[in-house]
Amino acid sequence: MSAAPARPAGDEPVQLLSFGCRLNTYESVAMRELALRAGHSGVILVNTCAVTAEAERQAAKAIRRAAREHPDRRILVTGCAAEIAPARWAALPGVARVIGNGGKLAPATWALEATPGAAAEAPAPRPVTDFAGRARAFVQVQQGCDHRCTFCVIPQGRGASRSVPLGAIVGEVRGLARTGCGEVVLTGVDIASYGSDLPGRPRLGQMVRRLLALVPELPRLRLSSLDPAAIDDDLWRLLADEPRLMPHLHLSLQHGDGLILKRMKRRHTPEQALALAARARALRPGLALGADLIAGFPTETEAQFAASLALVERMGLHFLHVFPYSERPGTPAARMPQLPTALRRERAARLRQAGQAAALRFYQARLGQEETVLMEGPDRGHTEHFAPLRLCGGPAARHGQLLRLRVTGADAEGLLAAAPAGEG
């Protein structure tokens, strides 16, 4: 989930270094808009992630490099890692200010005369009007988490679950659709818990149904990671009946062994995950399934790890996000018997290999099929199943264009297509 971004370059007044999840990506774009509207210039904004120690290491390294290479720019640091340990990040070279998660989307935070600690809690994100010119945009619908998985530090960084009211979501999605955005991805920390804090307690499925009805001009809607224990009946019906909801689910599975799931304090069993996959495919034949998986959790035996490997095959998973377990200070799992770091990494590598093989099988099964592709560059895009596709030869595609393409090849990096079969 965390990857080192490109180093700041050029003369942009507000440059981003964003680490971690899609929610961080969304918030980084929103903060840049707020900072630009307030008149900031000569700023490097670093949005940190606390999911793993590696994510924190990458962010700290990027800050030190930015301070060396751009000593004339102010470095502002925010995000979950900065929220949890602000003094540590404030002490890094070049850091002018650390901004807490609570106020980072509040316009008052970005006023040029703002002082640290002066911003109030932001009740909802400021709408993003242009998602950095991308054809596929993220929209925050929820943040925070009410669960306490034993490995996770995110509740310390983001607090309790809070949902964005439907009206704000509709306004933002409508604005993005009007700028030519072809696909919106609804994102948050735990989007399956959407609505539990709102009047009437609407569920995620109800919100999605109303959103699609109120923004008919939006071509495609996709969901980010879902808790397998919290998919509601409305969402199941939408999966079966709504063609604009993409045939792709990404699940927060984390493991394939029942005892390890209990030690993680997850709310589903392997058997329930298998039943979920069968139900999804019965409602939406051909649906693509992705999953988050952790390798090397404390006490994990080789047999328990093998259960995760087997789950990839048993569920027919196509796309994996694999993380070697990283102990997070203050979490219950950090006090459990730990596996050697080398063993965690070795098991993560084996899981990634299984995921790469599963993805290649999925790509090869699409040979000869026609796919509707959202073009995100002159020669690349994603299918409805979220398979990456590259154009080989022919004229360049228009950014944001929906094309019907016949798959002519497949490799480890995704699908290949020779020429459009007609616009979607």
**Strands 288-295 and 248-254, how do they pair?**
parallel
Q: What is the mean pLDDT of residues 32-52?
A: 92
Q: Please tell me the class of the 127-245 domain.
A: alpha beta
Please give the Cα distance from 299 to 328 (Å, whole number): 16
Q: What is the pLDDT of residue 6?
A: 39
pLDDT single digits (tens) 356-382:
999 999 999 999 999 999 999 889 999
Beta bridge partners of residue 407, listed in sequence order: 417
Tokens standing for residue 415: 């699908």
Q: What is the pTM of this model?
A: 0.89
Predicted confidence at residue 120, as pLDDT, reads: 47
State the pLDDT at residue 127.
Answer: 60
Domain ranges for the chain: 14-110, 127-245, 247-365, 370-423
DSSP secondary structure string for all residues of 70-93: -TTSEEEEEEHHHHH-HHHHHTST
Evaluated on CA atoms 220, 223, 229, 234, the torsion sign reads: negative
What is the per-residue pLDDT across 141-180, written as a single tens digit (0 to 9) for each? 999 999 999 999 988 889 999 999 999 999 999 999 998 8
Buried b (16+ CB within 10 A) or exposed e, 43-56: bbbbbbbbbbebbb
Query: Looking at residue 22, what is its pLDDT?
Result: 84
Residue 306 makes CB contacts below 8 A (sequence gap 6+) with none
What's the confidence (pLDDT) of residue 422?
A: 47
The yes/no answer on whether domain 370-423 falls in CATH 2.40.50 is: yes
Q: How far is CA 200 from CA 15, 159, 369, in A?
A: 40, 22, 44
The two tokens of residue 234 are 């409305």
127-245 and 247-365 share one fold: yes
Task: Give pLDDT, residue 130.
Answer: 66
Measured distance CA(99)–CA(81) in Å, rounded: 11
pLDDT for position 20: 85
In this predicted structure, which of 17-31, 213-227, 348-362 has the lowest mean pLDDT? 17-31
Question: Which sign, positive or negative, has the C-alpha torsion 125, 126, 127, 131?
Answer: negative
Give residue 117's pLDDT band: very low, low, confident or very high (50, 70, 90): low
| Structural class in CATH, domain 247-365 | alpha beta
Task: Count the helix, strand and coil residues of the chain and give each as a percent rounded to the nearest 5.
Answer: 40, 25, 40
Helix 302-315 vs helix 341-365: crossing angle, to nearest 10: 10
DSSP 24: H
Q: What one-character DSSP code corresponds to residue 377?
A: E
Helix (H, G, I), strand (E, B) or coil at 386: coil
CB half-sphere exposure, 116, CA atoms < 13 A: 12
User: For position 230, what pLDDT does the model report?
Assistant: 95
Instruction: Round to whole Å and give the CA distance between 31 and 48.
Output: 13
274 Cβ contact list (under 8 Å, min separation 6): 311, 314, 315
Q: What is the DSSP string of 112-148?
A: TT--TT-PPP-SSPPPPSSSTT-SEEEEE-EE--S--
What is the rounded CA–CA span in Å between residue 132 and residue 135? 9
**pLDDT, mean over the chain:** 91
User: Which uninterrupted H or E stretch holds 194?
Assistant: none
Helix (H, G, I), strand (E, B) or coil at 55: helix
**16 closest CA partner among 47, 39, 54:** 47
